[in-house]
Amino acid sequence: MLLAADFRVGMGTEAGAQLALLDGFAVAYRGTPGSLPLRAQRVLAFLAFQDRPVLRVYVAGRLWPDVTESRAAGSLRSALWCLGRLEFCVVVATPRTLQLAPNVAVDAREASAWAKRILHGSAGFDEADLDGARYPGELLPDWYDDWVVLEREQLRELRLHALETLGDRLMSHGRYGEAVEAALTVLRLEPLRDSAHRLLIRIHLAEGNHAEALRQYNGYRRRLLETLSLEPSHEMDELVRDVTAG
């Protein structure tokens, strides 16, 4: 049965809605925030990661897996009613399917697209690539649904690899300060990531700052021993071999 709220959710064509999922949930239209209960937030966030219309029964089953099908369907209808009360369209609904409205901008999607562009693009870069490196932190950090944890880890790894790739390209173009910033951004997200420490040391060596490279190596080695009782990788040792030998 198609409810009135379903039409309300799906009939709008407004542009300019923004959905923020990085560092917490927020939805707004032309700078004015919208208020939603958690069940509606979950539906909206889930749809943001679907690249095509999905069946209502699938959405209900993924978001409310521990209740009966009828109760899950009821929770979904309630969430859609709340979404339909917004002054702007965020979901396109049919009797069988749901999809995020095409004009909703999602920061997590933009961060993912930026990372893929860096990883699969040419060896160059432009200023937009540098701006993209400043996307904020984790995806919905206070949410613990299984699907969120999976999406969070996937986006996190994608961004870490992209930042390292960007740092390497910046270094090859002699833009050492920006390369260091990219490497440090990775280390803020994952302090013991060996590849990011290697990148940072390579940048210091490339600009002739051997003392800083050695300081970085020794600091990482000490922290690795204290935290995990491990030694740096062979690749890491090879980077500073000539410096320590001197």
Strands (DSSP E) contained in the chain are: 17-20, 26-29, 32-34, 54-55, 91-93, 97-100, 105-106
User: How is domain 106-245 classified at the CATH fold level?
Assistant: 1.25.40
In the prediction, which pLDDT does 14 show?
Answer: 45
Helix axes of 146-172 and 107-120: crossing angle, nearest 10 degrees: 40
Domain boundaries in the chain? Answer: 4-103, 106-245
In the prediction, which pLDDT does 218 show?
Answer: 94
Task: Look at residue 13 and tell me whether its pLDDT is greater than 60.
Answer: no
In the prediction, which pLDDT does 169 show?
Answer: 92
Task: Look at residue 38 and tell me whether its pLDDT is greater than 60.
Answer: yes
- Edge-to-edge strand list for the sheet holding 105-106: 32-34, 26-29, 17-20, 105-106
4-103: in CATH 1.10.10.10: yes
- In degrees and rounded to multiples of 5, residue 240 shows phi and psi of -105, 10
Q: What is the mean pLDDT of residues 149-153?
A: 96
pLDDT in tens, 77-124: 999 999 999 988 999 999 999 999 999 999 999 999 999 999 987 766
In the prediction, which pLDDT does 246 show?
Answer: 55
Tokens of 242: 């000539």
Q: Which of 22, 192, 199 is nearest to 115 (CA)?
A: 22
pLDDT in tens, 153-188: 999 999 999 999 999 999 999 999 999 999 999 999
**pTM of the predicted structure, to 2 decimals:** 0.84
Task: Look at residue 12 and tell me whether its pLDDT is greater than 70.
Answer: no
Task: Look at residue 9 and tell me whether its pLDDT is greater than 70.
Answer: no
In the prediction, which pLDDT does 124 show?
Answer: 66
In the chain, pLDDT over 70 holds for what percent of residues? 89
Task: Look at residue 131 and tell me whether its pLDDT is greater than 90.
Answer: no
